[in-house]
Amino acid sequence: MSDAAIDPITLAVLAGRMEQIADEMDATLFRAAFNPIIAEAHDASHGLYHARTGDTLVQGKSGLPIFVGVMSFAVRAVIDKVRETGETPQDGDIWIFNDAHLGGTHLNDMRLVRPYFRDGELFCWLASVGHWHDLGGGAPGNYNPAAKDAFQEAFVLPPVKLARAGEMDRGVLDIILRNTRLPQSAEGDLNGQLGALDLGVKRMDELLGEYGGGTVSAALDALSDRADTLMRAELDALPDGRWEAEDFLDNDGIVDEALPIRVALEIRGDRMTLDFEGTADRCQGPVNIARPTAVATAYVAIKHIFPMLPANAGVMRAIDVRIPEGSLLSAEFPAPVSGYTETILRMIDVIFAAASQAAPDRVVANAYGTINALSIAGRKKNGQPWVMFSFYGGGHGGSPESDGLNHGSAPISTATIPPMEILEAAYPVMFRQWALRPDSGGAGRHRGGLGAIYEIEVLEENGAEVFLFGERGKHAPKGVAGGSEAATNRFSYQTDDGWAQPPMVSKMRGIQLRQGQAVRLETPGGGGYGPAAERDPEAVARDVERGLLGADAAERLYGRGGAA
Amino acid sequence: MTETTGKRMIGVDVGGTFTDVFFLDEAAGEARVAKVPTTRPDQSGGFLEGIRRETDDLSGVSAVIHGTTAGTNALLERKGARIGVITTEGLRDVLEMRRRDRPRTWGLRGEFEPVVPRDLRLEVPERTLADGTIRTAVDLDAVRAAAEHLRAAGCEAVAVLFANSYANPENEAKAVAALRETWPNPHVSCSSEILPEIREFERFSTTALNAYLQPEVSGYLNRLDGALREGGFGSEFMIVQSNGGVMGVETACQLPVRTALSGPAAGVIAAGYIAGEAGFPDVITGDMGGTSFDVSLIADGHSMLAPQTSIDFGMVVRTPMIEITTIGAGGGSIAWVDKGGLLNIGPESAGSTPGPVAYGQGNDRPTVTDANVVLGRIDPDNPIGGKLDRLDVDAAGRAIDIHVGDKLGLSTVQAAEAILRVANSRMAGAIRLVSIERGFDPKRFAFMPFGGGGALHTGAMLAEVGIGRAIVPRYPGVTSAIGCVIADMRQDFVQTINSTVDDLDTAALTRFMQDHVNTGTAMLEGTETRFEARETVFELDMAYVGQTHTVSVPIPVEVRNGKVHAPNAKQVAEAFDDAYNTAYGRLLPNGTRRVMNLRSAVIGKHPKFDLTTLAPSGGSVEDALKGSRRVHFGDDWHDTAIYDRLALPVGAEVAGPAILEQADTTVLIEPDLTGRVDAFGNTIITRKDSHG
């Protein structure tokens, strides 16, 4: 990277151009991908990374938020591998891997990393990550709530070369495609990712041809410095101090014991420390996460608190993230990690809870805090298997300006939910209810957004089997700045003896339903912001009139029956 | 029937600031334009005033065509009617739950209020399954009781939104029939009538927004219609739809949601036609207004259609519309330097009120227009907007110093150039987005700026994106009004089929097609216009089973004497393979092909007017020269010739640096560019060293 100074105008122009390159890589994959998790839910990401350190230089805006922090670890894993083997990267090399303990998140996320050369020198890295539909393991789709190690989750691929100097290694490809239940989908997604990387190379060639390597390189350094300056300016404006927060996971799906997640947030001048000391040790079930995931999650939380900060590594220079050894936030290979979403959502919740004490006007209350991965599966009369798999929404936290959003997406995602009619047309189910859940938002000056109720009846004569991977069944999303907590997650299912609830509350495998029986998911709302007593009485009355708040709940939470 | 030759037509486009009127008298070979301030909240005042500028006698006028923002504004400002919803038991919250999205990726802020509050969304017992089976027949007593409740609560319109009504409309139709018997006005919107397409949120949202607009928009259109008739108008009053086609005023009153992007669509239609006639069938349009820059791509004479849009967060309208990409960089966009020392443009805008600093209406932060003023590119003595007689150049310069120059260590002029460079770069980014990113090579395209400010930025678009030439239409400020008289009549239809090709019931498919043709033809025949040609287009949305993104598959269908001769399943499969292969470059050998939706369009082609009507006659370059002014380009001031644009003759060549001025537009020809007036009065701008 160059030390040359760059004029502020060229910098502004280049910032936009490079962001557009990453965005275009995202768009290329979304269009070409075969599986809807990438095509519809945008569970993918692309960017440019520092030649020596792997730090994020520029990243696309449309990929999944969690990847903004985690991608640099994937690049770093390849840099380490190169160093270890002593080889020299060549133009046209591409590494591929899914090892979550090296690259973060979970094994479904296939990462491709490609060096980019300018005048024979390594200029930067390009990377692409996308969530593949299936990579073998104990459960189709790899959400195995009973997995005790990575091997039961999926096929594990360490960083290996998929292409050498532009030549694809057919052998590596064969190994990968032999280890998935859906080779066609996998190959389609892989082609999409390769296409995105090719496009990135082409666009970088054009940009560097136009501006010269020295200028672009100087711009990248300047953008990173600028992100650091912006972050420090934000931190400097906050008071010094140390604030703690604690929350819990219900259990790990194997042992029914609450798992604490703790953070101490410390601000000194223009620096911040996030120390997760006191968090539970590595557990048996798949709610562990690898260290890269934990660090990336801190980044996601910070970016939600300071949304105008750019998506590059400069932001994190002023922040020290301490993850205790042996904790479930730094689980070593081969600890199972497929349920990582639940753990990182709780990390974000505790960071918000601690930050709100430092800067109550900057932070929103906790969102619903669980993705509720619900799978309903069976066989049709003709023997054909079917699996309906989806994530469900809940409420967002109240904010300093307004009530929380009803039925939003999880903070780590921007995925939309499939339409009910699409699900009913594709699977033998009928939604008896697809509705907001009254009384589920945490009370407060600005109440939390409402969670949802989904009641799904099985229409298939052969019945169906149900799997759920959720959280927040025992520990509700919290309010901030004096706001109250939301309703907990509640899952129930019909049996011949009436409605029942699973012993682990939010996690369950193998529930058998007959035709005409249903499952019912009532998702948490968001926490409240500010004391309930400060809520505008007219807002309480309006919620009662609209049926978002029952008269009883209005009395209990706000001390009045809704009469303004 | 009105004769189509020698017709007199009036196109009216109501924008945020101005109402533009375009008068065409083909027999006399004349065209005139009028620009009057838009009146608010009732836009009919400006509409009628604009027409009166030219004529009080409307008896000989063959058509008045209107591009309107009445619907858009009512949606954006939440000024629609109080409406109610009657829906399936268990589903009253679909409108409020959306597709579980959020307003912005980062920050987790913001809430959403649907246009119908929850207490006016009532459930009734009824249920249809996805295969069309009726599981619970609709309880009509419950429907009547719900209607009574909504009327008592003051609702002026009602939307009926039932699950899976795309698959079988029976329950919904019964409920709507019962409602129409008792509801006191025609404002009953039915989801299976408006959009018989799978995806409940999109269908419900489109239908509810239709109901929300109906009282307001139909009232407005009926007022206009009445006033036109009083003026002696005895012919067709038509409204531009978001798809770029026109519809009769009665249809518009029933389907006001189809006008959501009426105004901008008309502009793109005009741009496509003007560029095509001038010999550029591939064109990228750029409409620069006060707060935004709207870009659209026309390839081989066809504009791209998008299946839906969000007017605002959670306010989804699903009806075909001309695809327009908008970025927040307009003349009023504010330039600012962030804490990290980076120069930004927008998204905050001073709009047209208070407007740029130079307008002297209270804004003190510099805008893109202020940069153009400081650099001499806009004539300070002839302001287009604002209330001053002369623009305040000094104030603009001071604002640029304080907010940009001082912070970045730049002189006033350097800072103004910097603002334009960053703004141009963002606008160029929008053009790259619609062209390069979608596989279109911009070199093939011409850039057509319209709206007030676009023609100031032409050179930058050529330089930054590699577009070969620009074409500035003769009247860029009234392009949308011109588009009104160019647009064809068009009606779009959709029907969800949801069947694999192997199981495709072609008889049922043909019945739907025949229905669409019958309804569309009846609409064309109900008008007083004579069409040069009729066209019917059928497309199927198709994918492999398991995929969610569909491809549009044009299918060859013969319509002879109004009768549809449908294709067989094999032809459908082949058409899909062709379309899929073109889109993705490969087929899935073992994939199962599925038909999701049928889309039909019935189009009545208007004879197009002769654009030479707009061309200048006579004149000379010398006479058109008004003087000169110092204008800053790059690093230096240049003595720059100023021309009266409309006085330039056909064939005139003007080498840059030069500025062509007309009432509402400034055309900038930078030092390395040259402009030529073509046979229609358009200005074609190319690089001096090129020939294109």
| ipTM (interface predicted TM) | 0.93
Give the chain B residue whose CA is nearest to the CA of A459. B129
Would you tell me the crossing angle of helices A170-178 and A183-211 to the nearest 10 degrees? 140
- Residue B308, min C-alpha distance to chain A (Å): 15
> Once rounded to an integer, what is the mean pLDDT over residues B233-255?
93
Q: Is the pLDDT of residue A386 over 90?
A: no
Q: Per residue in A367-382, pLDDT tens?
A: 999 999 898 989 888 8
Q: Per residue in B369-391, pLDDT tens?
A: 999 999 999 999 877 655 678 89
Three-class DSSP category at A486: coil
Between residues B270 and B57, the one the model is more confident about:
B270
> Once rounded to an integer, what is the mean pLDDT over residues B228-254?
93
Give the chain A residue whose CA is nearest to the CA of B97. A407
> Once rounded to an integer, what is the mean pLDDT over residues A108-124?
96
The last residue of one of the domains, among A229, A258, A276, is A229
- Mean pLDDT estimate for chain B: 91
Q: Which of A292, A288, A354 is CA-nearest to residue A326?
A: A288
Q: Which of B146, B27, B46, B136 is CA-nearest to residue B87?
A: B146
- Domain assignment present for residue A468? The answer is yes
Joined tokens for residue B248: 């009769």
Chain B segment 464-503 residues within 8 A of A by beta carbon are 498
Q: Is the pLDDT of residue B267 over 80?
A: yes
Query: How far from B169 is each of A425, B93, B134, B157, CA to CA, in Å?
Result: 16, 21, 10, 20
Q: Strand ranges (DSSP E) for B485-579?
A: 489-500, 533-544, 551-554, 558-560, 563-565
Residue to mutate among B97, B101, B108, B552, with most A CBs inside 10 A, is: B108
> Once rounded to an integer, what is the mean pLDDT over residues B484-493?
92
Q: Is the pLDDT of residue A516 over 90?
A: yes
> Once rounded to an integer, what is the mean pLDDT over residues B177-192?
96
Q: How big is chain B by its Cα radius of gyration, in Å?
A: 26
Instruction: Tell me the chain A residues in contact with residue B417 when contact means C-beta distances shorter than 8 Å.
Output: 9
Instruction: Tell me the chain B residues in contact with residue A406 when contact means C-beta distances shorter than 8 Å.
Output: 96-97, 111-112
Query: How far from B237 is each of A132, A325, B6, B18, B328, CA to CA, in Å?
Result: 54, 75, 18, 21, 34
- Residue A401, min C-alpha distance to chain B (Å): 8
- Domain assignment present for residue A195? The answer is yes
CB atoms within 10 A of CB B485: 27
Q: How many domains does chain A have?
A: 2
Quick check: A405 and B135 CB within 8 A? no
Instruction: Tell me the chain B residues in contact with residue A32 when contact means C-beta distances shorter than 8 Å.
Output: 584
pLDDT band at B298; cut points 50, 70, 90: very high
Q: Where are the domains of chain B?
A: 81-214, 349-423, 488-605, 612-687
The last residue of one of the domains, among A176, A195, A229, is A229
Joined tokens for residue B267: 């502009």
Quick check: B421 and A184 CB within 8 A? no
Whole-number Å distance between alpha carbons of A153 and B279: 61
Instruction: Tell me the chain A residues in contact with residue B421 when contact means C-beta distances shorter than 8 Å.
Output: 9, 12-13
Predicted local distance difference test score (pLDDT) of residue B387: 64
User: B132 touching A, CB under 8 A?
Assistant: no
User: B149 touching A, CB under 8 A?
Assistant: no
Whole-number Å distance between alpha carbons of A455 and A520: 4
Q: Which CATH number fits domain B81-214: 2.40.128, 1.10.700, 3.40.50, 3.30.160?
A: 3.40.50
- Residue A180, min C-alpha distance to chain B (Å): 17
CB pairs under 8 A between A and B: 183
Q: Is the pLDDT of residue A563 over 70?
A: no
* CB-count exposure of residue B289 (10 Å: 0-12, 13-18, 19+): buried
Give the chain B residue whose CA is nearest to the CA of A40. B548
- Residue A409, min C-alpha distance to chain B (Å): 5
Instruction: Tell me the chain B residues in contact with residue A202 when contact means C-beta distances shorter than 8 Å.
Output: none
Contact predicate B382/B414, CB 8 Å: no
Predicted local distance difference test score (pLDDT) of residue A560: 64
Q: A114: Cβ–Cβ under 8 A, 6 or more apart, which residues?
A: A93, A94, A95, A125, A126, A127, A197, A200, A201
For residue B414, how far is the Cα from the chain centroid?
A: 36
Q: Is the pLDDT of residue B1 over 90?
A: no
> Once rounded to an integer, what is the mean pLDDT over residues B183-192?
97
Contact predicate A324/A350, CB 8 Å: no
Element (H, E) at B525: helix B506-525
- Residue A359, min C-alpha distance to chain B (Å): 14
pLDDT band at A2; cut points 50, 70, 90: very low
Contact predicate B208/B115, CB 8 Å: yes
Whole-number Å distance between alpha carbons of B356 and B392: 10
Least confident of A444-448, B12-16, B200-204, B646-650: B12-16
- Residue B11, min C-alpha distance to chain A (Å): 38
Q: What is the dihedral of CA A162, A167, A171, A173, to 10 degrees?
A: 50
Whole-number Å distance between alpha carbons of A557 and B17: 49
Give the chain A residue whose CA is nearest to the CA of B436. A24
Whole-number Å distance between alpha carbons of B68 and B520: 23
Q: In terms of residue numbers, what domain contains A423?
A: 364-530
Instruction: Tell me the chain B residues in contact with residue A421 when contact means C-beta distances shorter than 8 Å.
Output: 130, 163-164, 166, 198-200
- Domain assignment present for residue A441? The answer is yes
CA pseudo-torsion sign B487, B488, B491, B492 = negative
pLDDT band at A63; cut points 50, 70, 90: confident
User: B104 touching A, CB under 8 A?
Assistant: yes
Predicted local distance difference test score (pLDDT) of residue B653: 96
> Once rounded to an integer, what is the mean pLDDT over residues B200-207?
98
Contact predicate B367/B451, CB 8 Å: no
Q: Look-up: residue for tokens 């390839």?
A: B299
Whole-number Å distance between alpha carbons of B666 and B474: 12
Instruction: Tell me the chain B residues in contact with residue A457 when contact means C-beta distances shorter than 8 Å.
Output: none
- Out of A13, A418, A421, whose CB is closest to B164? A421
Residue to mutate among A366, A405, A445, A456, with most B CBs inside 10 A, is: A405
Whole-number Å distance between alpha carbons of B85 and B67: 29
Predicted local distance difference test score (pLDDT) of residue B520: 93
Residue to mutate among B85, B89, B93, with most A CBs inside 10 A, is: B93
Whole-number Å distance between alpha carbons of A394 and A367: 8
User: B120 touching A, CB under 8 A?
Assistant: no
User: B163 touching A, CB under 8 A?
Assistant: yes
- Domain assignment present for residue A252? The answer is no
Q: Per residue in A234-287, pLDDT tens?
A: 999 999 999 999 999 999 989 999 999 999 999 999 999 999 999 999 999 999
- Out of A233, A307, A459, whose CB is closest to B106? A307
Between residues B441 and A149, the one the model is more confident about:
A149
> Once rounded to an integer, what is the mean pLDDT over residues A301-307?
93
- Residue B117, min C-alpha distance to chain A (Å): 7
- Domain assignment present for residue A281? The answer is no
Q: Which of B148, B278, B94, B335 is CA-nearest to residue B678?
A: B278
- Out of B164, B199, B588, whose CB is closest to A184? B588
Please spell the DSSP secondary structure of B470-497, one letter per residue. EEE-S-GGGHHHHHHHHPPEEEEEEEEE
Predicted local distance difference test score (pLDDT) of residue B591: 81
Predicted local distance difference test score (pLDDT) of residue A4: 54
Q: Which of A35, A207, A215 is CA-nearest to residue A109?
A: A35
Dmax over Cα atoms in chain B, in whole Å?
A: 80
Quick check: A436 and B426 CB within 8 A? no
User: B77 touching A, CB under 8 A?
Assistant: no
Element (H, E) at B579: helix B569-584
Predicted local distance difference test score (pLDDT) of residue B691: 54
- Mean pLDDT estimate for chain A: 92
Say what the pTM is: 0.93
pLDDT band at A562; cut points 50, 70, 90: very low
| Phi and psi based region of residue B607 (left: phi greater than 0; alpha: psi -120 to 50; beta: remaining) | beta
Contact predicate A549/B120, CB 8 Å: no
Q: Which of B273, B236, B263, B220 is CA-nearest to residue B481?
A: B263
Joined tokens for residue A212: 């010269």
> Once rounded to an integer, what is the mean pLDDT over residues A7-32?
86
3-state secondary structure B425-468: HHHHHHHHHHCHHHCCCHHHCEEEEECCCHHHCHHHHHHHHCCC
The last residue of one of the domains, among A199, A229, A259, is A229
Whole-number Å distance between alpha carbons of A77 and A43: 21
Predicted local distance difference test score (pLDDT) of residue B436: 78
Q: Per residue in B627-644, pLDDT tens?
A: 999 999 988 999 999 999
Whole-number Å distance between alpha carbons of A549 and A564: 14
Whole-number Å distance between alpha carbons of B152 and B146: 10
Between residues B55 and B542, the one the model is more confident about:
B542
Buried b (16+ CB within 10 A) or exposed e, A376-405: bebeeeeeeeeebbbbbbbbbbbbbebbbb
Joined tokens for residue A279: 């968090």
Contact predicate A340/A250, CB 8 Å: no
Instruction: Tell me the chain A residues in contact with residue B437 when contact means C-beta distances shorter than 8 Å.
Output: 24, 27
Predicted local distance difference test score (pLDDT) of residue A348: 98
Joined tokens for residue B374: 């400081």
Q: Strand ranges (DSSP E) for A437-474?
A: 452-458, 464-469
- Out of A40, A304, A452, whose CB is closest to B107? A304
Between residues A447 and B38, the one the model is more confident about:
A447
Quick check: A435 and B104 CB within 8 A? no
User: B119 touching A, CB under 8 A?
Assistant: yes
Predicted local distance difference test score (pLDDT) of residue A1: 41
> Once rounded to an integer, what is the mean pLDDT over residues A454-462?
97
